[in-house]
């Protein structure tokens, strides 16, 4: 994981415990988890909106193409 071994991870955990204290670690972890969840939710929502707008463009393009074909048929009949 990111090129960190077990020893490095344990050292980082000890430093975090010294800086924040054992009592604040659960709250710190909870806040971090909420932030990550919020980030993932927003990314998923943005992706859904982007896909929906892309689908709308495709549908609109198909409608324009169908109208152009109809106009071509009418022009061919008129000629």
pLDDT tens digits along 24-51: 888 888 998 999 999 998 888 888 777 7
Are the beta carbons of 17 and 25 closer than 8 angstroms? Answer: yes
Please give the pLDDT value at position 16: 86
Does the pTM surpass 0.85? The reply is no
Between residues 60 and 73, the one the model is more confident about: 73
- Give residue 79's pLDDT: 66
Residue 37: the pLDDT is 92
Q: What mean pLDDT value characterizes the chain?
A: 82
Given this model, what pLDDT does residue 56 score? Answer: 67
- Rounded distance between C-alpha atoms, residue 64 and residue 79, angstroms: 22
């Amino acid at each position: 994981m990111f090129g960190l071994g077990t020893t490095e991870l344990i050292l980082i955990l000890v430093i975090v415990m010294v800086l924040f204290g054992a009592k604040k670690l659960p709250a710190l972890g909870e806040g971090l988890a909420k932030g990550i969840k919020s980030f993932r939710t927003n990314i998923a929502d943005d992706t859904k909106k982007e896909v929906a707008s892309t689908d709308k463009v495709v549908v609109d393009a198909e409608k324009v193409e169908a109208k152009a074909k109809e106009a071509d048929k009418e022009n061919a009949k008129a000629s």
